[in-house]
A and B are shown apart, each in its own frame.
Chain A
């Protein structure tokens, strides 16, 4: 079983729709929860990170963490074609003397004009 599960999609929605992206995880020791956006042939860029259960909002993006269910979500409101990308969830874990990012598979999101 993978430590982080994420549906690879693709997820296709019309412009203006609310998008919900999700990840589940199995390791209760994960400390920080991140969402990265990756455009084709580019490196990932950090969108949001959270530490505790609850919601965190930044513009059109809302990150949600439910530690009791080991479930995290990213919501995108008023989705735009420029939001089309692959969204990866990642969580930090201590491995040896370093913090490592444990990645989900990434969900490919397509926003149709």
Chain B
């Protein structure tokens, strides 16, 4: 099956610093990648949809200047949390859609990145 990796798996940073999270589709090309945020014991909250070569589409309430998304190639998308604060601490998960897959538009998920801002 299709594999999506995320790096790093865990990161701890100081308040005010920026953190970059990478999402890679390893064995398929992903025209669309999604970034989610998940709080403890809560479901996934879609932050933004990223299409290769174009600007990301952010969900309502998500600050685009704080959560910078770049989808420079068909296998890589990055999420940069700028000037991170403790309230940004969360589990960030990316997913990728294989454009050659069936009509149900399955998303393949990465293992997630645990961000802790001190």
Question: A residues within 8 Å of B by Cβ?
Answer: 6, 8, 31-32, 34, 36, 41-46, 49, 51, 88, 92, 96, 98-101, 103-106, 108
Contacts and interface: CB of A to CB of B under 8 A. Distances in A.
A20 to B, nearest CB: 19
Contacts of A51: 104
Contacts of B77: none
Interface string B72-103: 00000000000000000001010101000000
B57 A96 contact: yes
B109 A43 contact: yes
21 contacts: A6-B43, A8-B41, A32-B104, A32-B105, A36-B109, A43-B93, A43-B110, A44-B93, A46-B106, A46-B108, A51-B104, A92-B105, A96-B57, A98-B32, A99-B97, A99-B105, A100-B49, A101-B34, A101-B107, A106-B43, A108-B41
Given A88-B43, A103-B44, A42 B112 contact: yes
Query: Chain B contact residues (Cβ within 8 angstroms of A): what range?
Result: 20 to 34
Given A98-B32, A99-B105, A42 B43 contact: no
Contacts, number: 55
Contacts of B108: 46
B8 interface: no
Contacts of A44: 44, 93, 109
A3 to B, nearest CB: 12
Given A32-B104, A41-B91, A46-B106, 18 more contacts: A8-B41, A36-B109, A41-B112, A43-B93, A43-B109, A43-B110, A44-B44, A44-B93, A45-B109, A98-B32, A99-B105, A101-B34, A101-B44, A101-B46, A101-B107, A104-B43, A105-B43, A106-B43
Highest count of chain B CB atoms <10 Å: which of A92, A96, A99, A105: A99
Contacts of A42: 111-112
A43 B42 contact: no
A90 to B, nearest CB: 8
